[in-house]
Amino acid sequence: MAYIDLPEFEAMRPEIQERARPILEKTGSLGEIFKLLALDNKVYFATDSMVQSYLLEKTYLSYDIKEAIALLISKENSCKMCVDVHKNIAKMLGLSEDKIEDILGGVEAMNVDEREKALLHFCIRAAQKDNYKMMQSDIDALKTLGWSDKEILEAVAIVGYFNYINTLSNVFGLGES
């Protein structure tokens, strides 16, 4: 139960209802994060733009890597609701239950190459409060492994998105019983 009153579909602005209707028809309900964002058009549409651009559209990073970042950062930020949501999204994108559990076990538990592990460790480090201590050498290490500037930027943008959405979820008690 969220710490504040969240709007139901009928109370949402028409332009948000338009986005919500297909979700509601497909799943039968709207998640608390959707309802929270629907409180403010600007917040909703800015967030929706990030979701569309970073997570749903085909980008430089694979969906597997993007969902691994989503799960790892959400777990790191203790956002149970986001972990649960992204476990389901990962399944919809074709990740097996075993692969999802490996991700949740941490980077070293994952059956991926050292190149991918390096990027995921970098993402976890980038999510921390003291990320201002990161150095050129951190970026150079990834580039040495073959990661491009665009892939590294995208990974950090996804980290930033999950720090943002995890904060909203945690602060407003979303997913709490």
| pLDDT average per 10 residues of sequence, the chain (177 residues) | 93 94 84 94 94 88 95 96 89 90 95 97 98 97 98 98 96 86
pTM: 0.92
Largest Cα span, the chain: 52
The span from the CA of 83 to the CA of 86, in Å, is 5
Supply the pLDDT for residue 27: 80
Contact (Cβ atoms closer than 8 angstroms) between residue 108 and residue 117: yes
pLDDT at position 57: 86
Note every long-range contact of 65-71, with CB atoms under 8 Å and residues 24 or more positions apart, other chains counting.
65/116, 65/119, 65/120, 65/155, 66/158, 67/93, 67/95, 67/103, 68/103, 68/110, 68/116, 68/120, 69/120, 69/123, 69/155, 69/158, 69/159, 69/162, 70/158, 70/162, 71/100, 71/103, 71/104
Counting every residue written for the chain, the total comes to 177
Predicted local confidence at residue 162, as pLDDT: 96
Closest by CA to 71, choosing from 58, 52, 84, is 84
